[in-house]
Structure 1
Amino acid sequence: MFRGRLPATFAFVRHFGGEMRHHNTEVNHSRIPWDFTQESYKKIDEIMAKFPASRRRSGVIPLLHLAQVQNGGWIPVTAMFKIAKICEVPPMDVFETVTFYAMYNRKPVGKYHIQFCVTTPCQITGCDALIEATEHKLGIKMGGTTKDGLFTIGEMECMGCCVNAPMIVVSDYSNPPNFSYDFFEDLNEESLFKILDNLRDGRPVKVGSQLPNRVWCEPAGSDKDKTSLRLETPPGPYCRDIDAAKK
């Protein structure tokens, strides 16, 4: 039927890291000097001490996180060059890492960076409708920032709380070196708008599930002691008593 040719296929593709190539801007180009602070360099020494000399590239991800925290929520291209030099890798290795992971930002973001999970469980529980409603409420499109600099909205792949879908993560890097990174789960339009309004007005927000009768990930309304899905230290793996085995 296709005479040796593959049929055309069409798919909706989401680009979580934004555009793949770098474009110089007034706030982000290779001529703007950037360096880690002395306090950050102390943390870098601690991080790099964990890896052998032949594996310094293992420091790329934690150093990117450190740069983003120091820089108020995003990573300039000159910070990527600095990290490449410290980790002794080609700059392209750092660029590839930054563009792969959605939690790294390559342009300035608002005080509250709101990222929607768009993986299958959140898709079938209405994340697209929540995104559309949020765009309308804030007057911005995906990837945009409100004029007051308070909110930026974005997308992210699976956040790991699928039983509590749909969900968002809200990060706040506006007070370096401190930052927050909070999950909000079991959302609907009403509960999501309440979170946005509380953040805008500086009121406390409820982190985690937004259902009144759910604590962590247990079935709604159940006794939380009937599930193992709780935030507590898990038991360690079984290991035979070596000393006893030697006798």
Structure 2
Amino acid sequence: METNKYKQDINITPELQQRIDELLSHYPSDKKKSALLPVLHEVQDAHDNWLSTELMDKVAEILEIKPIEVYEVVTFYTMYNQKPMGKYTFEFCLTSCCGLRGADDMMEYTCEKLGIKPGGTTADGLFSVAGVQCLGACGYAPMMQLGDFYKEHLTKEKIDQIIKDCKAGNIILHDK
């Protein structure tokens, strides 16, 4: 795996370790790898929404697996970020249903409003925009994911309001 050009402090706080231990308790002790996805979510959430190579190595150490086993998962799923992302990451579904209902236009509009390109992050670190594959909400197209929540039946007006609400700090990102 290519070395990540971004640096990140690894901080496994006692609270994070407690959460990881709680997740591991749901699996047989000889099957720690089974907890990989939820552990990655917890670790990413605790580290500014991204995972450096060094942090992935730490997860491998905790789960007693090879680092490549973590890299394979992180590079496959779009829900894991390998570089710093904005506090608010707009993940637009770009598969068939959303595409036919205008998701590309909504993503392009959002990028124009924020002054960035898809995959980019605003200079203040507040927003990122990304295109992702199916989010499994075809009946609500066009849609995007923002944190743990879906924003559905998107229009330019809804995008404007979401951006305004994010800037005001009125958007909840995680259902915890």
Do they fold alike, i.e. is TM over 0.5?
yes
Cα–Cα, structure 1 residues 199 and 101, in superposed 2: closer, same or farther, change >3 Å?
A: same
**Which whole-Å CA distance do the structure 1 matches of 2:81 and 2:50 have between them?**
5
Alignment of 1:215-230 (within 5 A): none
Matched-pair contact (CA < 8 Å) for 2:3–2:53: no
User: Among residues 16, 20, 27, which one is paired with 2:7 in the alignment?
Assistant: 27
Aligned counterpart, 1:68? 44
RMSD: 2.0
Which protein is richer in helix relative to its size? Answer: 2
Q: How far does residue 23 in structure 1 lie from its aligned partner after superposition?
A: 3.4
**Higher RCO (C-alpha 8 Å, min separation 6):** 2
**2:97 matched to 1:130?**
no
Task: Please tell me the residue identity of whatever aligns with 1:57.
Answer: K
Cα–Cα, structure 1 residues 166 and 26, in superposed 2: closer, same or farther, change >3 Å?
A: closer
Based on CA coordinates, which of the two structures has the bigger radius of gyration? 1
**2:65 matched to 1:89?**
yes
**Which whole-Å CA distance do the structure 2 matches of 1:80 and 1:137 have between them?**
34
Identity within the alignment, %: 38
User: Among residues 78, 90, 114, which one is paired with 2:90 in the alignment?
Assistant: 114
Cα–Cα, structure 1 residues 48 and 118, in superposed 2: closer, same or farther, change >3 Å?
A: same
**2:160 matched to 1:193?**
yes
Aligned counterpart, 2:25? 49
Please, what TM-score do these two structures have when normalized by structure 2?
A: 0.90
Task: Please tell me the residue identity of whatever aligns with 2:159.
Answer: L
**Which whole-Å CA distance do the structure 2 matches of 1:168 and 1:26 have between them?**
26
**Which whole-Å CA distance do the structure 2 matches of 1:37 and 1:120 have between them?**
42
Q: How far does residue 124 in structure 1 lie from its aligned partner after superposition?
A: 0.5
Aligned counterpart, 2:13? 37
Matched-pair contact (CA < 8 Å) for 1:75–1:106: yes
Per-residue CA deviations over 1:175-228 (Å, capped at 9, x if unaligned) read xxxxxx2211001222212221232234x4699xxxxxxxxxxxxxxxxxxxxx
Q: How far does residue 89 in structure 1 lie from its aligned partner after superposition?
A: 1.4
Q: How far does residue 26 in structure 1 lie from its aligned partner after superposition?
A: 4.7
Runs ≥4 residues deviating over 4 A: 204-207
Please, what TM-score do these two structures have when normalized by structure 1?
A: 0.65
SS in 2 for 1:163: helix
Aligned counterpart, 2:121? 145
Unaligned runs of 5+ in 1: 1-20, 172-180, 208-247
Cα–Cα, structure 1 residues 93 and 126, in superposed 2: closer, same or farther, change >3 Å?
A: same
**Which whole-Å CA distance do the structure 1 matches of 2:42 and 2:117 have between them?**
28
Q: How far does residue 162 in structure 1 lie from its aligned partner after superposition?
A: 1.0
Unaligned runs of 5+ in 2: none
How many residue pairs match? The answer is 173
**2:137 matched to 1:161?**
yes
